[in-house]
Amino acid sequence: MLKIQSLIKRYGERTALAGLTLALPAGQFVALLGPNGAGKSTLFQVLTGLFVADEGEVTVAGRSLRHDAVGALADIGVVFQQMSLDLDLSVERNLRFHADLHGLPRRVAGERIAEGCRALGLDKDLARPVRELSGGNRRKVELVRALLHRPKVVLMDEPTVGLDPKSRRDLLAAIRADIAARGTTVLWATHLVEEAEAADRVVVLHKGRLLADGSPAAVTVALGGERLEEAFIRATHAP
């Protein structure tokens, strides 16, 4: 569903992505685990079309980001690291705006907004300005927004930063429900090892390259530790 081939992205002398290759099938929840500076944000910026890679290819559901960016991006939903809602607009207006950008018919948009907000317990908040919502509920609105156009691939860039344990659990449950219902492919960037342990597959990024790839247990073994956290720290902070 998402294919990344030999991706290279440089900032001047610095290489942020050093020939990254990765393929994600439908219905998989993949944690992208990497220390600060590993290249996670750069990868997300390339995958969302904000930056063009220097070399390499990305295809989303068979469509090339380089040759058919509009087609490829239509199948991507994103929850960015920084909150990106308009604080002064209501929850509903924020969601309508996104639905319009994707050309969703008004009635379909209305149904999906109602359904998404109901599933995440936001139905009472539809008319409230986002400014009045807690951090956890803002994130939930962002997830509803990311799913409105029913993307095949969802990218989440450290979506739980600043959330309390209950909100983190709710967010995880909501994305898991979407995977179960629609076979969505999810790439969830994090540096929280416990979040990675809950994924189907863990991909460890270090210095713009893949250091390990497999189930949480397999990655722990590959990195040479007994627990994922210590194996990850040792492997990514080796002298």
- CA dist 170 to 52, 119, 137, 177, 189, Å? 34, 10, 10, 10, 17
What's the min distance (Å) between Cβ of 189 and ligand ATP? Answer: 7
Of 8 and 61, nearer to ligand ATP (C-beta) is 8
Binding segment (CB under 6 A) for ligand ATP, from list 10-18, 61-69, 113-121, 141-149: 10-18
What's the min distance (Å) between Cβ of 165 and ligand ATP? Answer: 21
Does 136 bind ligand ATP (CB under 6 A)? Our answer is no
What's the min distance (Å) between Cβ of 216 and ligand ATP? Answer: 19
Does 236 bind ligand ATP (CB under 6 A)? Our answer is no
Q: Are 156 and 187 in contact (CB under 8 A)?
A: yes
Does 42 bind ligand ATP (CB under 6 A)? Our answer is yes
Among residue numbers 22 through 41, which ones bind ligand ATP (CB under 6 A)?
34, 36-41
**Nearest-angstrom CA–CA distance, 18 and 129:** 42
Which x/- pattern over 187-226 shows residues binding ligand ATP (rule: CB under 6 A)?
Answer: ----x-----------------------------------
**Residue count at the site for ligand ATP (CB under 6 A)?**
12
Under DSSP, is residue 134 helix (H, G, I), strand (E, B) or coil?
coil
Does 14 bind ligand ATP (CB under 6 A)? Our answer is yes
- CA dist 23 to 35, 85, 150, 170, Å? 21, 30, 20, 27
What's the min distance (Å) between Cβ of 12 and ligand ATP? Answer: 7
Q: Among 11, 55, 101, 217, indicate the residue that binds ligand ATP (CB under 6 A).
A: 11
Q: Sheet with 153-157: list strands edge to edge.
A: 76-79, 153-157, 185-190, 29-33, 201-206, 209-214
165-181 b/e (C-beta count within 10 Å ≥ 16 → b): eebbebbbebbeebbee
